[in-house]
Chains A and B, each alone.
Chain A
Amino acid sequence: MPKHELILLKNMMQPGYTGSLPDYEKTGGYQALRTTLGKIAPADVTAMVKNSGLRGRGGAGFPTGVKWGFLPKDYHGPRYLCCNADESEPGTFKDRQLMERDPHQVLEGIVLACYAIGAETAYIYIRGEMVLGSQILDHAIAEARAAGYIGRNILGTGVHVDVWVHRGAGAYICGEETALLESLEGKRGLPRIKPPFPATHGLYNKPTVVNNVETLANLPHIIRRGPEWFAAIGSPPKSTGTRVFCVSGHVKRPGNYEVPMGVTVRELVYEHAGGMRSDKPIKAFIPGGASAPFLTPAHLDVKLDFEHVAAAGSMLGSGGVTVMEEGTSMVWAALRLMEFFYHESCGKCSPCREGSSWLVQTLRRILAKRGRMQDLETLLDLCKNIAGRTVCAFGDAEVAPIQSTLKYWRQEYVDLIREAEAANLIKLEPVGRG
């Protein structure tokens, strides 16, 4: 059993817990909703979330209460909440567990968020491939609606919140909040230029909040147990609460582990995930999903919170920790991630659309031992011309694997190119003699 208290995964770790409405209610589920709706002012709910220090769990880590505070106060038309369940970041699989194993925890968070921001409609934008997750959510919504927790006049408080599941159709970029809104409007999921931000011009051009599944699942607990309780967990003051880290790669027990923010990768791998699969030392790890730069064994004791990981040159991102053992080719690893980004680039911005193709081609050539030494400069030059030059953060994300592997394992690239050069010299010899 873990040394610390679980928050989000607690219920589902109880034997026999099915995630049904009666099960959820038995664990204190929907109590936060009962004590909040019509009893605490929406502005006070926002203040509680602000005071808890909760930051978005989707990748960017923006303070949730502050985000809600950006909605215009003098606007009386419709507002929307979108639950971002388009979990597609390689290395990340926590939202799937939260939705499939304890859907009501997410739904209660959604209704509380809607109440705080004054939205009467929420859409759960779930990635299209997660058919089971969408069916479980649909069922849970029906249960909650029948019990009066969702719908018109919730528990007689005069609050209306409707929740709908909307399946995406297979596009990583739709996890980006403005691309998600475009997709929800029935269009290609191309990110919008910001500003204006969704807080003022979101879904159907109306004030909108987009929050990640894990972020919303934290809300019932913050409200039930108080912002001070939440703010004391983890690495206060800037990284509070727990985090569901998704551990994958060469570990014995890959899976989701909920730990207070601030634990180290060493602890996560060796105390929770059972250590390395073949007991080889760690060669590299990604601390926050495919968009986060690779780190080395020298960073194993870096605290996994927003500031410390950023100071180490990477990012906490979506919490996807992928661990690679000694012997893994880092050029190959960079190529595998690059192929993902190449496939998923939405094509709106030329630097990303064209650049990702060039990056993949160059990496493939180096790995096929047909590289040239100047390719390394070309790679870095391409990265420099992609990052920061696109509408969304996808451009910054796609250069992370290349820049970080070139920084820490440049010699592996050089060795492959040297082999290519040697092979070419031999091939050219007969021509020289002739």
Chain B
Amino acid sequence: MTFSEKYKDEITDILSRYPVKRSALIPLLYVAQRDHGYVTEAAMQEIAALLRLTPPQVYETITFYTMFHLKPVGKFHLQVCKSLMCALVGSDTVIGWIATKLGIAPGETTADGLFSLSAVECLAACGTGPMMQINDDYYEQLTEDKLDQILSDLRSTGTSSLKSGPFMWPGATPAERACEA
């Protein structure tokens, strides 16, 4: 089944929000990426046709944004924030832990295709650093124990209860917050 047949209702809903079709480009690329784990060339061509764009117009947009993948990434994409605010509270150490535990450097994927590691710029969680995003979820105030737990949870169940819920409160120290969690 083609992309546009498979997600017909969702595509119609997205298109209805904008008076100009091209605005639906990023939302549709998200649908395509959710489908395959990355945006395939076929999906790009279909989206171009749907929005009456040329394939280069889709390609020029997709390559501007860091969240779209043009090739497969690991099942769990670990993106560790390395900006100054997280670096001040130890993000380099976190990257080191992950590299040692998984045997991969930033930009690499484990041989089993389960984990990819990236060092990324600010994710707007500076008060709860060091932090990382895995697929759609934030994991904040990372410690080595928490990291071990997260990796083991992901391996066994595909998700982890340590992921952040709605924004954490100010006021508690990192240790107190860890206890609350």
Q: Is B162 an interface residue (CB 8 A)?
A: no
A324, closest chain B residue (CB): B88
The answer to whether A96 touches B125 (Cβ under 8 A) is yes
B16, closest chain A residue (CB): A164
State the Cβ distance, A175 to closest chain B Cβ, in Å: 10
The answer to whether B25 touches A186 (Cβ under 8 A) is yes
The complex places the Cα of A168 from the Cα of B122 at a distance, in Å, of 15
Known contacts: A87-B124, A96-B167. The answer to whether A186 contacts B61 by CB under 8 A is yes
Q: Which of A87, A130, A248, A257 has the most CB of B within 10 A?
A: A248
The answer to whether A248 touches B138 (Cβ under 8 A) is no
Which residue of the partner chain, among B17, B30, B121, B166, contacts A340 with CB atoms under 8 Å? B121
Known contacts: A168-B26, A186-B51. The answer to whether A128 contacts B124 by CB under 8 A is no
The answer to whether B84 touches A247 (Cβ under 8 A) is no
The answer to whether A249 touches B89 (Cβ under 8 A) is yes
Q: Is A147 an interface residue (CB 8 A)?
A: no
Q: Per-residue 0/1 for B110-135: is the Cβ within 8 Å of any A Cβ (1 yes, 0 no)?
A: 00000000000111111111000100
The complex places the Cα of A128 from the Cα of B122 at a distance, in Å, of 12
The complex places the Cα of A322 from the Cα of B127 at a distance, in Å, of 9
The answer to whether A185 touches B66 (Cβ under 8 A) is no
The complex places the Cα of A263 from the Cα of B165 at a distance, in Å, of 31
State the Cβ distance, B174 to closest chain A Cβ, in Å: 8
Which residues from B are CB-within-8-Å of A322?
A: 84-85, 88, 126
The answer to whether A183 touches B125 (Cβ under 8 A) is no
The complex places the Cα of A127 from the Cα of B125 at a distance, in Å, of 13
Q: Is A269 an interface residue (CB 8 A)?
A: no
Band of interface residues on A: 35 or more
Known contacts: A188-B61, A250-B88. The answer to whether A90 contacts B26 by CB under 8 A is no
Which residues from B are CB-within-8-Å of A136?
A: 166
Q: Per-residue 0/1 for A10-30: is the Cβ within 8 Å of any B Cβ (1 yes, 0 no)?
A: 000000000100000000000
B84, closest chain A residue (CB): A336
Q: Per-residue 0/1 for B153-179: is the Cβ within 8 Å of any A Cβ (1 yes, 0 no)?
A: 000000000001111111111000000
The answer to whether A257 touches B51 (Cβ under 8 A) is no
Q: Per-residue 0/1 for A320-332: is the Cβ within 8 Å of any B Cβ (1 yes, 0 no)?
A: 1010100010000
Q: Is B75 an interface residue (CB 8 A)?
A: no
Q: Is B67 an interface residue (CB 8 A)?
A: yes
B87, closest chain A residue (CB): A336
The answer to whether B88 touches A90 (Cβ under 8 A) is no
A128, closest chain B residue (CB): B67
The complex places the Cα of A87 from the Cα of B24 at a distance, in Å, of 21
Q: Is A60 an interface residue (CB 8 A)?
A: no
Q: Which of B23, B60, B165 has the most CB of A within 10 A?
A: B23
Q: Is A305 an interface residue (CB 8 A)?
A: no
Q: Is A280 an interface residue (CB 8 A)?
A: no
Q: Is A169 an interface residue (CB 8 A)?
A: yes
Which residue of the partner chain, among B17, B19, B68, B121, contacts A169 with CB atoms under 8 Å? B68
Q: Which residues of B contact A (CB under 8 A)?
A: 17, 19-20, 22-27, 29-30, 51, 60-61, 64-68, 82-85, 87-89, 121-129, 133, 136-138, 164-173
Other A-B contacts than A188-B64, A346-B64, 9 sampled, CB-CB below 8 A, are A95-B124, A166-B26, A169-B66, A170-B65, A248-B129, A253-B172, A255-B171, A336-B82, A336-B83
Q: Which residues of A contact B (CB under 8 A)?
A: 19, 78, 87-93, 95-97, 100-101, 127-132, 136, 164, 166-172, 183-189, 204, 246-250, 252-257, 274, 290, 320, 322, 324, 328, 333, 336-337, 339-340, 343-344, 346
A–B complex contacts, Cβ < 8 Å, 10 sampled: A90-B85, A92-B126, A96-B124, A100-B166, A130-B124, A132-B165, A185-B22, A253-B170, A290-B122, A343-B121
